[in-house]
Amino acid sequence: MKKPFLILLPFLLIAGQGYAQHPKAIIRQSEQSIPRGEGNHSSRFVADCKGSVNNPSSDLQWRSIVNPAPIIHRSDKNALVKQLKEERMIHKLQLEKTKSTTSENSTLTPAPNIGRNFEGNSSNGFSPLDNSLAISNGGYIISVANTTIEYATMAGQVLYYNDLISFINDTEIEGVCDPVVIYDSGSDRFVFFCQVSPLNSTQSKLLIFFSKSNNPMDGWWYYKITGNPLNDGSAFDYPKLAVSNNELYITGNLYFDNGNFNQSVIYQINKIAGFAGQSLNWQYWHNISGGPFTLTPLQWGQQGNYGPGCYLVASSSSDNNIIWFYDLTDDMTGSPTLVYHPVNVTPYKVAPNALQKGTDVKLNTNDCRMLSGFYLNGTAHFVFNSEFSDGYCGINYHRLEVANLSDQSMVFGLAGSDYSYPSVASFANETNDKSVMIGFLKSSSTTFPSIRIVNCDNDFNWSGSTEVKAGNGYVHYSGDP
């Protein structure tokens, strides 16, 4: 199924042409926000630039066809999550026999309109798709889909397409996955990431690419960092990326070679050197207080960056009423600490897998791990999926005020349908406007998986959702749990 670029166009709509730096908010030391511990950072390391990647030639009409090779992103509570999903699926299937027509729990702010659209980077048969997309101020679009990379213009003209192995052109690399691309609007550059062997600690590597200019056709600086930083037989998986004024943050989960979850880690990296092709100073954080799973660093939500340091959030993979909020207080050049603040929120629950039209195969909705977020003007915005009602999955959206750690949230959904895998972006021209757009996947027993988008305005009023791309078939592989 082709995926449209439009789903992330809110990133473009809020991007101005100036460069702004935004300081971090100060967390007030109230009774509910007393620091509850920190994490440990390593000594500092230096990563030499491995050279230049200069977009090796490719046939723009060529598309790779490969056999599916699923890589499962496991939960830290995999057995419990699987049990809960199976139990709740029984109730859900009973309701399916008697379900009636319902409507989304919107408050009817105007629904998004579909504007420009064109065919995007195609699925290559791997599961999960692991797609990511970034758009620059200059209108360059980079999209990645597990093992492929594509550059395009806002008019839909494809400038470059290749498989990642050919793109990287490193004889030591035989296979990669989990690509992520972000745009650093403060530096007007792209950062691209993929990883090697998330299931093998002896081969696990983080591959990091910094664009040489604001045009990805000008090439990239290439770096390679260990994915087994603790040297304890564990490998890096499930990457998340963000930038601040001076640094790049890469977070992920470490898994032992036997498949068991180890811990989450944070890589703190000097991005300025990366954009210049110089040696990188970096360190990692481990043994993080609270024992988070799938930490997500929060990038500034509009034009420019903030700092020093960075905010991060995590949710439980299973049922819970806590959000893990972290303040990485400073750059490496200062005296950074990693301060943990547990935040009580409305309880959330794991939803069973999604139903699909035309098949009994269930679409894996995964668990309640954190999926997407950003920070803007004192507010942390973030999303994940959880149960909406009666076993159906919905979009769990939060606004966390950093100054006092107060939280406002809602699960957006539709009884009889499953909404999952959300991504959130600011949709405003001013930093004090909290309006967002949230893209997500919808599936039901009467519809194929499709892409939709919904608006939540400054006053927390929700629109109805708008279909961006209808599905044309069901997903054959559903994964575990």
User: What tens digit of pLDDT does each residue of 261-300 get?
Assistant: 999 999 999 999 999 999 999 999 999 999 999 999 999 9
Residue 286 lies in a domain: yes
**Which residue in the block uniquely carries the two structure tokens 């004192």?**
378
If pLDDT is split at 50, 70 and 90, which confidence band does 191 have?
Answer: very high
Of 2-6, 131-135, 472-476, where does mean pLDDT reach its minimum? Answer: 2-6
Element at 215 (helix H, strand E):
none
Q: What's the whole-number average pLDDT of the chain?
A: 87
pLDDT at position 235: 95
Rounded Cα–Cα distance for residues 119 and 156 (Å) = 7
Residue 7 lies in a domain: no
Q: Give percent of the chain with pLDDT exceeding 70.
A: 87
User: What tens digit of pLDDT does each residue of 311-320 get?
Assistant: 999 999 999 9
pLDDT at 123 over 80: no
* Residue 118 burial by Cβ neighbours in a 10 Å radius (0-12, 13-18, 19+): middle
pLDDT at 70 over 80: no
pLDDT at position 12: 35
23 contacts 135 by C-beta, under 8 angstroms:
no
Residue 256 lies in a domain: yes
Using DSSP's 3-state secondary structure scheme, residue 5 falls into helix
If pLDDT is split at 50, 70 and 90, which confidence band does 71 have?
Answer: low
Query: What proportions of the chain, in percent to the nearest 5, are helix, strand and coil?
Result: 10, 40, 50
Q: Which range of residues forms the domain containing residue 401?
A: 37-115+122-469
Residue 311 lies in a domain: yes
Residue 28 lies in a domain: no
**CATH number for position 425:** 2.120.10
Number of helical H runs and strand E runs in the chain? 4, 29
User: What tens digit of pLDDT does each residue of 12-31 get?
Assistant: 333 333 456 788 876 644 44
Residue 30 lies in a domain: no
pTM over 0.85, yes/no: yes
pLDDT at 404 over 80: yes
Residue 300 lies in a domain: yes
Residue 15 lies in a domain: no
Query: CA–CA distance from 17 to each of 6, 137, 185 (Å)?
Result: 21, 7, 9
pLDDT at position 175: 87
Of 95-109, 256-270, 367-381, 446-460, where does mean pLDDT reach its minimum? Answer: 95-109
**Strand-pair category, 189-196 with 205-211:** antiparallel
Two structure tokens written together for 242? 């963000």
If pLDDT is split at 50, 70 and 90, which confidence band does 100 have?
Answer: confident
Of 65-69, 213-217, 250-254, where does mean pLDDT reach its minimum? Answer: 65-69
Average pLDDT over residues 384-413: 96
The tally of domains found in the chain comes to 1
pLDDT at position 480: 53
pLDDT at 161 over 70: yes
| Strand blocks (E) in 309-405 | 310-315, 320-328, 338-348, 372-376, 379-389, 392-401
